[in-house]
Amino acid sequence: MRTWHRHATAATMLAVALACSDSSSPVSPTALSPTHKPARTSGPVTGAVFTTTDPDVDGSGHCKNGNEAVNCNIYDGKQFVWLTGGPGTSSLPAGDYFFAVLAPGGQGGNRNPNDGTPKNLSDLSPRTNTGAGDDWTNRRFTINLDGSISYAGTHDFDATNNKIRLMGYDDTPNAGGVYILAICAVPSAISSTNPPGVDPSICKYDAFKAKVGEEPPPTGGAEALGIDKDAAGSNDNTFKWTILKSVDKTKVEQIGGTATFNYTVVVTRDGGTISSVKVSGSIAVFNLNVDKDGNTVPVAITGVTDALSDNTTCTVTNGGAQTLTQVETDFAYSCSLSALPSSSLDNKATVAWDGQDLSNSTHLDGGSADFTFTGIVFTETKIDDQVTVTDTFNGVKTTLGTVPPFDLGSTTKKTFTYSHVVNVPAHDCVTYNNSAVFTTNTTAATDHSDQSVQVCGPHATGALTIGFWKGPNGNSLIQNFCAPYGKTSLASYLSGLGAGAGPFATAAGLTCSQLVTYVNGVIVGASATDMNKMLKAQMLATALDVYFSSFGYTTGTSGKNAPKPPSNFLPNGGIGTFKMDLTAICPMVDNTTAGSANCSASKPSTNGFASGAFPWGSQYVSTILAFASTAGVSPWTTGAFTSPTWYGSDRTKQEILKNVFDQINNQLAFTGP
């Protein structure tokens, strides 16, 4: 709803017309017609636009300011306003046109002569006040090459004087009775939405005023200035986002096959931050004073001001003291606010002037006019309200989706779930890096959340099984390399585990041949029905692996039949320095005949640390041997040997320890952190 309060001492209630135009380009449309009319095309309207009276039809005296029958500005009734192309060379060029009467206050993007737009008083819908109006096609006319007007609609048409009556149209909502006439070239393509779909910026506009009640004539004969405005609120709402990526597990240890990792990515948007709150628009000041030829008479003003109902002072561009030489002078303005208003906000514009004599020999009393735009609507510009989420796995980028939409029942969060399947390497670990990234739609801001996973096969330790050590190659190594020169002998090494009181204490002082017999006896005696014997056999094989891979050897013979040094079977560097993951222990299935074993289901299923069998989650093989050889008591923090068994009578822990050595010997142990 709009209210226009006028405070001029000599207000008038007659109609006014403006012989100026406010939007054009120097390109003339081509006319439409047979023979004497050029074909119609859409283009900017050039030439002048005029409203006038028609004394031949309505009688004289209806023009109260201006040149009657040629260019009138003020009328004693809106029914007496006619359209004319204007006199002589200033008239509209040949072409196909339509007209519409608009309410003022439609400056800038709000001024729109197409049907169905808010300021159009000539159309059928929406209607204001009187409910008058018709379809745009009934307001269509042609300017011929000879300057004459052709019109086939139902409006009154004076073909002799080339005039079309503008009625009917709705009453203006402007309290001062100001109307705007729009003349537009008919576009080449007619729109079904807000027809005919002309670009408002290429139309011509002319203001006039029609009598709206019994108002006394102005003192001194001059017409007080009028004012109108529009107002649009706006603000930015900038959103912030977070992203979090997780996975159901970060490490898989197994023998062969594939591993599946299940990922979850959650992006969350905050409620937004409001900024750049402002009200802006255009103020139109109307100078309805003209001379006898219909030309606008200059009027000096002291300035144009604008303010919001919360007392915010607005900035009016070039709104200072000046002389208005046009019928309509538009001023841009803007108002800055610190926050969105908590209640309805209005906007009031005021133009003021001092008393002055005008060049048309009239006097304008000092005064002011104001207009209040009520109920400003704020339109929000969302910044970064949307993100696109991508995921890069092992160098391959995929798009997870765009947010919003959010999860069902949420207004802030979106969850993505997906899986990646990878092959398990034959040995050791492969790391897969995975990064989820969001990119915002407005500023292209990004953030990421990363998650690395490992898939591990067993470590290739180079260790040898109990089957090897009881066979000819193993026996040969023991026979020929059990006492290297300058090094600890095998007998001393085995008996020294557990400081001479360990499980192999009886190996002390044995010769190489006796050690062969000793080793074979322990290994052959291993039985699945006696866990301690099986544990001792697997532990002995691990001890042999550590010994023969850890000490340097020399031999005095060479040739085809010479003994093979341990390096031909075992890796250099020492198996004892391998650090095993004791949280990934396999349930080993032994083949006592072959002396080999495999991991049940190809997956470790026992956590030696959590089960209490070991005081660590990972440890070096040499340290595990020392722990298994050292006497201890529950909770088994210093040693596990309870001669002649391990862990007392706890068979479960005995089997766990056996499986550890079994994994090492069969090269199925996983690398620990």
* pLDDT attached to residue 565: 64
Most confident range (mean pLDDT) of 374-378, 484-488, 601-605 is 374-378
| Residue-number span of the structural domain to which 439 is assigned | 238-272+383-456
Same domain (yes/no): 243, 230: no
Identify the band that residue 220 occupies on the pLDDT scale cut at 50, 70 and 90: confident
- Contact (CB, 8 A) for 571 and 549: yes
Provide the pLDDT for residue 127: 58
Residue 23 has pLDDT above 90, yes or no: no
Identify whether the C-beta of residue 207 lies closer than 8 Å to the C-beta of residue 18: yes
The answer as to whether 279 is a domain residue is yes
Residues with Cβ < 8 Å from 623, sequence gap 6 or more?
A: none
Neighbour order of strands in the sheet with 303-308: 2-6, 367-373, 347-353, 303-308
One domain, residues 297 and 427 = no
| Cα-only R_g, the chain | 49
Mean pLDDT of 266-275: 97
Q: What is the pLDDT of residue 40?
A: 43
Report the percent of the chain where pLDDT is more than 70.
Answer: 84
244 lies in the same domain as 290:
no
Within a domain: residue 216? no
User: Which segments within 361-457 are labelled E, that is strand?
Assistant: 363-364, 367-373, 378-383, 387-393, 396-403, 413-423, 429-440, 446-456
DSSP tag of 404:
-
CA distance 440 to 72: 57
Instruction: Please indicate, yes or no, whether residues 248 and 296 belong to a single structural domain of this protein.
Output: no
| Greater model confidence, 339 or 108 | 339
pLDDT, position 112: 84
Residue 248 predicted with pLDDT over 90: yes
Q: Which of 396, 400, 391, 508 is nearest to 450 (CA)?
A: 391
Q: Which amino acid, residue 541?
A: A
Distance, in Å, from the CA atom of 84 to the CA atom of 69, rounded to the nearest integer, reads 9
Question: Given this model, what pLDDT does residue 35 score?
Answer: 35
Q: Centre a 10 Å sphere on the Cβ of residue 575 and count the other Cβ atoms it contains.
A: 27
Q: Look at 123 and 6; give whichever has higher pLDDT.
A: 123
- For the chain, percent of residues with pLDDT exceeding 90: 63
In this model, does residue 1 exceed pLDDT 70?
no
In the chain, the number of structural domains is 4
The pLDDT value recorded for residue 378 is 96
Which residue reads 């900035």 in tokens? 315
Give the CATH number for residue 246: 2.60.40.740
Among the listed ranges 194-198, 473-477, 483-487, 640-644, which one has the minimum average pLDDT value? 483-487
Specify the DSSP element, H or E, that contains 349: strand 347-353
- The residue assigned the tokens 């002011």 is 368
Do the Cβ atoms of 224 and 369 come closer than 8 Å? yes
Binning pLDDT at 50, 70 and 90, where does residue 590 land?
A: confident
Q: Do 304 and 397 fall within a single domain?
A: no
Would you say residue 147 has pLDDT above 50?
yes
What is the chain's mean pLDDT, rounded?
Answer: 85
Q: Is the pLDDT of residue 36 over 50?
A: no
**What is the reported pLDDT for 24?**
34
At residue 102's C-alpha, the angle toward residues 100 and 108, to 5°, is: 110
- How many angstroms separate the Cα of 31 from the Cα of each of 36, 37, 47, 456, 470? 9, 6, 14, 82, 111
Q: What average pLDDT does this structure show over 450-457?
A: 95
74 band by pLDDT with thresholds 50, 70 and 90: confident
Question: Which pLDDT band holds residue 559 (cuts at 50, 70, 90)?
Answer: very low
Residue the block writes with tokens 């005039």: 163
- Comparing 171-180, 269-278, 280-289, 418-427, the range with the smallest average pLDDT is 171-180
Higher pLDDT, 322 or 94: 322
Q: At what angle do helices 621-629 and 531-550 cross, to 10 degrees?
A: 140
Residue 51: burial class (beta carbons within 10 Å; 0-12, 13-18, 19+) = buried
How far from 155 is each of 57, 61, 95, 169, CA to CA, in Å?
Answer: 13, 22, 19, 11
The verdict on 91 and 119 lying in the same domain is: yes
Q: Is residue 220 part of a domain?
A: no
Check whether residue 599 and residue 474 sit in a common domain: yes
Q: Per mean pLDDT, which range of 47-51, 367-371, 433-437, 647-651 is the poorest?
A: 47-51
**The token pair that represents 450 in the structure block:** 């990363």
Clarify whether residues 378 and 512 are in a common domain: no
- Give pLDDT, residue 156: 95
Q: Check whether residue 502 and residue 591 sit in a common domain.
A: yes
Please report which confidence band the pLDDT of residue 33 belongs to, taking 50, 70 and 90 as the band edges: very low
Last residue of some domain: 456, 483, 517? 456
For the segment 460-511, what is each residue's pLDDT rounded down to a tens digit? 988 999 999 999 999 999 998 888 877 889 999 999 999 999 999 999 999 9
* pLDDT tier, 106 (very low <50, low <70, confident <90, very high otherwise): low
Q: Which of 456, 475, 507 is the last residue of a domain?
A: 456
Of 17-26, 62-71, 229-238, 335-344, give the lowest mean pLDDT range: 17-26
- Confidence band, pLDDT 50/70/90 cuts, at residue 130: low
**Among 100-104, 526-530, 643-647, which range has the highest average pLDDT?**
643-647
**Whether residue 176 is found in the same domain as residue 293:** no
Helix (H) or strand (E) holding 531: helix 531-550
Residue 352 domain-assigned? yes
Domain end position, chosen among 382, 416, 431: 382
In the predicted structure, residue 305 carries a pLDDT above the cut 60: yes
The whole-angstrom separation of Cα 229 and Cα 174 is 10
Count CB atoms within 10 A of the CB of residue 82: 26
pLDDT given for residue 10 in this prediction: 28
Whole-number pLDDT of residue 34: 36
Q: pLDDT at residue 235 above 90? A: yes
Same domain, yes or no, for 521 and 590?
Answer: yes
The CATH number linked to 315 is 2.60.40
Let me know if 565 is exposed, middle or buried by CB neighbors in 10 A (0-12, 13-18, 19+). Answer: middle
Q: Is the pLDDT of residue 90 over 50?
A: no
- pTM comes to 0.68
Q: Is the pLDDT of residue 194 over 80?
A: yes
Question: Is 367 within the bounds of a domain?
Answer: yes
- Interhelix angle 651-665/531-550, nearest 10 degrees: 30
Is residue 644 assigned to a domain? yes
Instruction: Assess whether 134 and 80 both reside in one domain.
Output: yes
With CA atoms as reference, report the closest residue to 165 among 196, 132, 124: 132
d(CA 566, CA 552): 9
Cα torsion at 536, 537, 538, 539 (round to 10°)? Answer: 40
- Of 94-103, 146-155, 383-392, 568-577, where does the model show the most confidence? 383-392
Q: Does residue 219 lie within any of the structural domains? A: no
Name the CA dihedral angle for 205, 211, 215, 219, rounded to a multiple of 10 degrees. Answer: 40
Residue 188: pLDDT band with limits 50, 70, 90: very high
Residue 199 lies in a domain: yes
Close Cβ partners of 119 (under 8 Å, ≥ 6 residues apart): 102, 103, 105, 106, 110, 111, 112, 180
Residue 280 pLDDT level (bands cut at 50, 70, 90) = very high
